[in-house]
Structure 1
Amino acid sequence: MLAQPALAEEWRFNNFLPETRPESAQIDKFAQDVNTALADRDFSIEVYHGGSLGIPNTDLLRVVPTGAVEMSLMWSNYLGRDAPELGSVFVQGAISTVDELKSVLPVAQEIYTEAYDDWDITTVGFVAIPTLSVSVFCRNEPVNTLEQLRDVKLRVWAREQVETFTKLGVAAQIIPQEETYVALRTGVVDCALYPALYASTISLQEVTKYASFLYPMASAPYTIGVQDALWESTDPAIKDAITAAADDLWERTNQYDADIENEMAAREKLSEQGIVWGEDFPQADREQFVEAVSETWAMLAEEAGGEALDYRARMLEALGR
């Protein structure tokens, strides 16, 4: 009998970010690097952007361990329903400078690797997120004070933001980025919290008219996860190619020198598309926000208990606080 040729193996990479995001281009480059390195082994990675595989980003701790998708981008701040302790690692707004970010990243990566391992997920790489300037984008009128913000319905993307704004008397609700455009267009919310750098990737300029800067933010890195059993059974040469490409991906994205320049360029482009940039939120309001963030961080850690307290303590130690 003639031997049958081995079937080519393809791993699907679930990327919940829009294809237009800069990180998505970097993930495409990662897949291309792996595919090039393994061109003679009938192995490839195919990236599916924007949640096109139909997997909610909040369900990834339930889906990835089953092997239903071979590889996925994961972000701890979306996973609080199943792993509330992950919300105590990076709280939005608690880390605001590049120096602070660099001091905590090695600790955060160590924590995420440990935490995902408990869910039978192997961490094979990380994708850094630029330091961001978070603004309030509004439909009908400019909003650039906390007093004004208390009179509108605000879209946010994580529970800690809901808790922080609640402390400030602001009505905030979580709306996934893929639903934000429609929520603004239909009036479900009046304003949306969003970084200017990414605003055009979901066409905020089409459904909002005004924007004002509120706070700087350094974010938790994205993690690339693979089911433990799949990773353990993978050919060592394939693992080496994936690891090498992931190391290059981290090196490319873990750069922050151009963040301010990119922010200003994004604002200028949005202005050309019709967004009116108002005054920044007053310093006193921003100080109130930071104080509320600090309270939220402590509250979430206490609420989750156990490992959450340890995670926060390790981060605070790295920050020298």
Structure 2
Amino acid sequence: MNKLAQTIAAGAAAAASIVSAAGADTWRFNNFLPETRPETAELEKFAADVNETLGEEQIKIYSGGSLGLPNTDTLRFLPKGAVEMSLMWANYLGRDAPALSSVVVQGTIGSIEEFEKAIPTVRKIYEEEFADWGVSSVGYAAIPMLSVSVFCRDEPVNTLEALKSKKLRVWARDQVETFTRLGVAAQIIPQEEMYVAMKTGVVDCALYPALYAHTVSLQEVASHASFLYPMASGPYVIGVATDKWEATDAATKAAITEAADALWERTNQYEDDFQRELAAREELAEAGITWAEDFPQEDRDTFVAAVTETWAMLAEEAGGNAPAYRERVLTALGR
């Protein structure tokens, strides 16, 4: 049995072991985000809305990887029926669907105004791409406009030159490519492994949004932080295997669609993001993190230039629909 089959089998076994408690007809919703993330609360509200409309527990959410299904394998296990529903994020799926990695490369869109122009096009691209994998996009949850900072264990780092002497944790390939262009050693470490990696010195610093740092207890293993760049990301997608969705009765489809529309309306709001960022920094400072000066504007401009080169490179490398996807987003942005 190969690794993929083992992964799916293990996840299916874990999911099956809890079906009896949830009910045989209940849809298991695989949510890779921790229970402490605000998006998880929104997904719980989505499930509660569906269940209330139908008058029964149709959807039950399992968060934080509790079903043992890696988020990078979603396009493999979801169509095979390991779970009925799953959260998906395009930036985690580039191994299997390379074109997804070039739709929105983090760091290329630096303002809310620009991002709002791009969102309808991004959603349409996701719908098309996931359909090719036998997955229907039945809902979306917006990701806040985040401010990404460099968190370090032992000393403050707030220049690209200083960062070159550190080992940096990132979460996506486009970041690895970008920092490599800048002469920085970066490696992908899943967020569930980041705490130990920082604590044991596997990495010296970690790229992470201050807004979510407390959800992974980053303040316990980092002592310094500095803001580097604003980040707009494509939305999370709620996926269902297309054959499963097509076989679903009209009442359940309507309940899910209505709840998903409400989820999007609640999360597709960006006006308060920066104020929440500042509040998060204050809380982290109270927990012991010292905030250094932001990376200088010259470094931030250098970073954006490197990201732009990475975006073009990834689209060209992925081939297929990737260059066209990038052009569609650029057109939506008016560039």
Paired with 2:109 and 2:315, the residues of 1 have a C-alpha distance of 16
Q: Which amino acid aligns with 1:13?
A: F
1:31 pairs, out of 47, 57, 61, with 47
* Map 1:67-216 → 2, pairs under 5 A: 67-216=81-230
Q: Which amino acid aligns with 1:27?
A: L
2:66 pairs, out of 40, 44, 52, with 52
Q: What is the CA-CA distance between 1:223 and the residue it aligns to? A: 0.3
Contact 1:301 1:312 in 2 (8 A): yes
SS at match of 1:47: strand
Q: TM-score, normalised by structure 2?
A: 0.93
Q: Deviations over 1:93-143 (max 9, x none)?
A: 001110111000000000000000000000000000000000000000000
What's the counterpart of residue 3 of structure 1? none
2:36 pairs, out of 14, 20, 29, with 20
Contact 1:139 1:190 in 2 (8 A): yes
Q: Which amino acid aligns with 2:299?
A: D
Please report the RMSD computed on the Cα atoms of aligned residues, expressed in angstroms: 0.8
Q: Deviations over 1:167-206 (max 9, x none)?
A: 0000000000110001001110000000000000000000
What's the counterpart of residue 324 of structure 2? 310
What's the counterpart of residue 217 of structure 1? 231
Q: Which runs of 5+ in 2 are unaligned?
A: 1-22
Number of aligned residue pairs: 313
Paired with 1:214 and 1:187, the residues of 2 have a C-alpha distance of 22
Q: Deviations over 1:143-173 (max 9, x none)?
A: 0000000000000000000000000000000
Alignment pair present for 1:234 and 2:234: no
Q: Which runs of 5+ in 1 are unaligned?
A: 1-6
Q: Which amino acid aligns with 1:204?
A: L
Q: Which amino acid aligns with 1:139?
A: R
Paired with 1:306 and 1:50, the residues of 2 have a C-alpha distance of 33
Q: Which amino acid aligns with 2:219?
A: Q
Paired with 1:203 and 1:316, the residues of 2 have a C-alpha distance of 37
Paired with 1:35 and 1:117, the residues of 2 have a C-alpha distance of 26
Alignment pair present for 1:289 and 2:303: yes
Paired with 1:180 and 1:32, the residues of 2 have a C-alpha distance of 31
Alignment pair present for 1:271 and 2:285: yes
Q: What is the CA-CA distance between 1:91 and the residue it aligns to? A: 0.1
Q: Which amino acid aligns with 2:41?
A: A
Q: Deviations over 1:1-21 (max 9, x none)?
A: xxxxxx762001100011111
SS at match of 1:94: coil
Return structure 1 stretches of 4+ with deviation > 6 angstroms.
none
What's the counterpart of residue 249 of structure 1? 263
Q: What is the CA-CA distance between 1:43 and the residue it aligns to? A: 4.5
SS at match of 2:64: coil
Paired with 2:84 and 2:65, the residues of 1 have a C-alpha distance of 14
Alignment pair present for 1:62 and 2:76: yes
Paired with 2:90 and 2:24, the residues of 1 have a C-alpha distance of 32
Paired with 1:69 and 1:120, the residues of 2 have a C-alpha distance of 14
SS at match of 1:165: helix
Paired with 1:263 and 1:43, the residues of 2 have a C-alpha distance of 35
SS at match of 2:283: helix
Paired with 2:32 and 2:224, the residues of 1 have a C-alpha distance of 27
Q: TM-score, normalised by structure 1?
A: 0.97
Q: What is the CA-CA distance between 1:306 and the residue it aligns to? A: 1.7
Paired with 1:43 and 1:144, the residues of 2 have a C-alpha distance of 49
Paired with 1:159 and 1:204, the residues of 2 have a C-alpha distance of 22
